[in-house]
Structure 1
Amino acid sequence: MLRIHFTREDVGRIRIAAGPVPAWEMLLSLHALRGPAGHGVFGPWRARTLGALDPSARLLLRLAPPRGYSPDFLTPAVGDDVEKTVDAVQSTARDRLRTDLALLAGQLGTATSWMRPLADGDPEALRRVGAAMRRYHRQALDPAWDGIRAVVAAERAARAADLLHGGAERMLSRLHPRIRWEPPVLSVAYPVPKQLHLRGRGLLLIPSYFCWARPIALRDTRLEPVLVYPANRGLRRLGEPADTSDGEVLARLLGATRAAVLEQIAAAEGATGADLVRRLRISPASASEHATVLREAGLVVSHRIANTVVHMPTPLGRAILDGGVRTPPSHSVLSSFPPATGRSFG
């Protein structure tokens, strides 16, 4: 069990990540790559991704074993920018590299030759890690990033609604079935006993598409406190094509653009006007008009959260979309790695 101890100040300093965090999605998707080929959610993404990766991914797979410890330096606290993430990893202090890689070597039973220059902070070794991260994100995550962002945005909107309607108590109590809020302690089902005292630092909540089954935290409790937890409550698969026959019927009923707006709102379990503009390439005025018509028809509801309006589907809106069943699309870098047998925890 992981027990996170809050003070009164910490409750007021809870934040939710503004979007998917590249460092965590990279790390946890590397774990997913080692999972079962037939995984109900990750299987189609895994099959597509394995054919797209170049050999540089092997370095990241070595650094991120699917069970046990993955080095904390791979997930720096730099937000949603890939380049800043890579820069932060490449700028990791030598003491941190040595500590983290010693822990990894202890788990593996030996310090292999590729670890030593990295643990010494060798610039070329760090450059290789950064280059591998850029390539991996481009090959594995960029093609799916809109879907990842939509799932995380929906989870973030739902938790923000909890905060508005019931305060921090309600939000913390509804984070995940494996998380229990018993003030002033947040208890998380965890494979090892762990205590995290926030001491006024607050807590950053990071909903993650690739976090699966259990929440995860950094091993080093001196680092910025974070709790990464599964965002994909709807078990949405990445890159699922719509059923075009049902989509055509819906388009005739509502109009093509309005039908697309409703589908996007439902698929993401909630969307803002900016989300609709970006995904559908329509104007802000058009997104607002279509969302208003759908709301007046009882197909969506809209909640204002600070300066942002989030649109979410109603049961009637979902019922209209029920015919739109989504199905997955009909020399691996994993050849030298055993399959995953569990999750990775700090």
Structure 2
Amino acid sequence: MQTREGALAFAPWRRMVGGLVRRGEEARGAASALSTLVPRAAYFPDFLTPPVEGGPPELREGIDRVLATPKSRLRHELALLSASGGRPWAGAELARGDTAALAVLGANLRTYHREFIKPVWRHIDAATATDRALRTRALVDGGTRALLNTLRPMAVWEPPVLTVDYPVDYDLHLQGRGLLLVPSYFCWRRPITLADSELRPVLIYPVDKTPPSSGASPASSAASLASLARLLGPTRAALLYEAAVLACPTTSELAHATGVSLPSVSQQLAVLREGGLVASRRDGKRVLHTATPLGHQLLGRS
């Protein structure tokens, strides 16, 4: 919201947000308050991105984790924000863990999500799910080295060092803790990490933001492959199923799994992509395919 970068990816979203901010007092207040906590600067507080264990948390759980930040950490990180030139909203109240200020912060986070994120969640979900599937395929095929090589050119793996295109000079020593890779829709060009090296090491990196096709949303009540075949036809139903259960299969692997010729598979996959049920990405000489979240819903796998 605070930059013009990534016009092709974010311009439609910025226009939507701009309209909501102009028309709605609640949306405008949430955006104004939160922008003071995440300014366009080299630092913003780590407590706003709480740790994730066992998969992405629900929104309510994530906000609860933010609001449960220890007072000592609130005080320390908000002081760092102020020292870097930021002017955090309700800074003094938040720093001492004031209950009323924390309640307003939670309300602002919920409003921001409802007004600005939820309308485009389908696009975000599809982009991040496709990214996870592609990188999982790389991990299955070639192990950790192949997975980390998929991060080129923004990150280069030269054992034992992962060199990342990062806005500041910063060394992070894992010390056996591992590195959590977090795909992000709104991250732009460069990966980011937490400022506090004592926290769990994470690398938040941008995903491909190619806009998905805007085909009609099919009904999600088909819970069996038989009913799905009646809706899509047997070939497309079989391809969608295999794209969902295999680890990012190639066109050839889908042809082998379904017993359908390569030219026919390519044609049917194009129809599934137009309907927003399958996403495809080129990987060298091959093309990898995965079912989108909408495709998984149609299969009854969500």
TM bucket, shorter chain: 0.7 to 0.9
Contact 1:302-1:310 within 8 A present in 2 as well: no
Where does residue 94 of structure 1 map in the other structure? 71
Q: 2: CA distance between counterparts of 1:301 and 1:281?
A: 14
Contact 1:37-1:47 within 8 A present in 2 as well: no
Where does residue 41 of structure 2 map in the other structure? 67
Residue 152 in structure 1 maps to residue 120 in structure 2 = no
Where does residue 3 of structure 1 map in the other structure? none
Contact 1:300-1:317 within 8 A present in 2 as well: no
Residue 133 in structure 1 maps to residue 101 in structure 2 = no
Q: 1:200 to 1:41 in 2, by over 3 A?
A: same
Counterpart mapping for 1:167-316 below 5 A: 167-232=143-208, 235-237=209-211, 241-242=214-215, 280-286=219-225, 289=229, 293-294=235-236, 302=242, 308-309=245-246, 314=251, 316=266
Q: 2: CA distance between counterparts of 1:87 and 1:179?
A: 32
**Runs of 4+ deviating beyond 3 Å:** 286-292, 299-304, 308-315, 317-324
Where does residue 26 of structure 1 map in the other structure? none
Q: 2: CA distance between counterparts of 1:167 and 1:280?
A: 38
Contact 2:236-2:268 within 8 A present in 1 as well: no
Q: Deviation at 1:66?
A: 2.4
Q: Deviation at 1:51?
A: 2.2
Counterpart AA for 2:235: V
Compute the TM-score of the two structures, normalised by the length of structure 2.
0.73
Q: 1: CA distance between counterparts of 2:147 and 2:70?
A: 36
Question: Aligned to 2:224, what secondary structure does the other structure show?
Answer: helix
Greater helix content: 2
Q: 2: CA distance between counterparts of 1:100 and 1:293?
A: 55
Residue 42 in structure 1 maps to residue 10 in structure 2 = yes
Stretches of structure 2 lacking an aligned partner (at least 5 in a row):
22-26, 252-264, 277-302
Contact 1:179-1:187 within 8 A present in 2 as well: yes
Q: 1: CA distance between counterparts of 2:171 and 2:43?
A: 17
Compute the TM-score of the two structures, normalised by the length of structure 1.
0.64
Q: 2: CA distance between counterparts of 1:226 and 1:68?
A: 17
Q: Deviation at 1:309?
A: 3.4
- Quick check: 168-177 or 126-135, which moved more? 168-177
Q: Deviation at 1:284?
A: 3.3
Question: Aligned to 1:52, what secondary structure does the other structure show?
Answer: helix
Counterpart AA for 1:48: M
Q: 1: CA distance between counterparts of 2:44 and 2:268?
A: 40
Question: Aligned to 1:41, what secondary structure does the other structure show?
Answer: helix
Stretches of structure 1 lacking an aligned partner (at least 5 in a row):
1-32, 248-259, 261-278, 327-346
Counterpart AA for 2:3: G
Deviations 1:196-216 (A, max 9, x none): 111221111001111111000
Q: 1: CA distance between counterparts of 2:237 and 2:167?
A: 45
Where does residue 21 of structure 1 map in the other structure? none
Q: Deviation at 1:49?
A: 2.0
Q: 1: CA distance between counterparts of 2:63 and 2:273?
A: 43
The structure showing larger relative contact order (alpha-carbon pairs under 8 Å, at least 6 residues apart) is 1
Contact 1:152-1:207 within 8 A present in 2 as well: yes
Question: Aligned to 2:191, what secondary structure does the other structure show?
Answer: coil
Deviations 1:140-183 (A, max 9, x none): 11111121111101000000000111011100111242100011
- Computed over aligned residues only, the root mean square deviation of the Cα atoms, in angstroms, reads 3.2
Q: Deviation at 1:311?
A: 6.0
Q: 1:292 to 1:173 in 2, by over 3 A?
A: farther
Counterpart AA for 2:222: S
Q: 2: CA distance between counterparts of 1:135 and 1:291?
A: 42
Residue 58 in structure 1 maps to residue 26 in structure 2 = no
Contact 2:136-2:247 within 8 A present in 1 as well: no
**Aligned length in residues:** 251
Question: Aligned to 1:219, what secondary structure does the other structure show?
Answer: coil
Contact 2:133-2:248 within 8 A present in 1 as well: no
Contact 2:138-2:147 within 8 A present in 1 as well: yes
Q: Deviation at 1:323?
A: 11
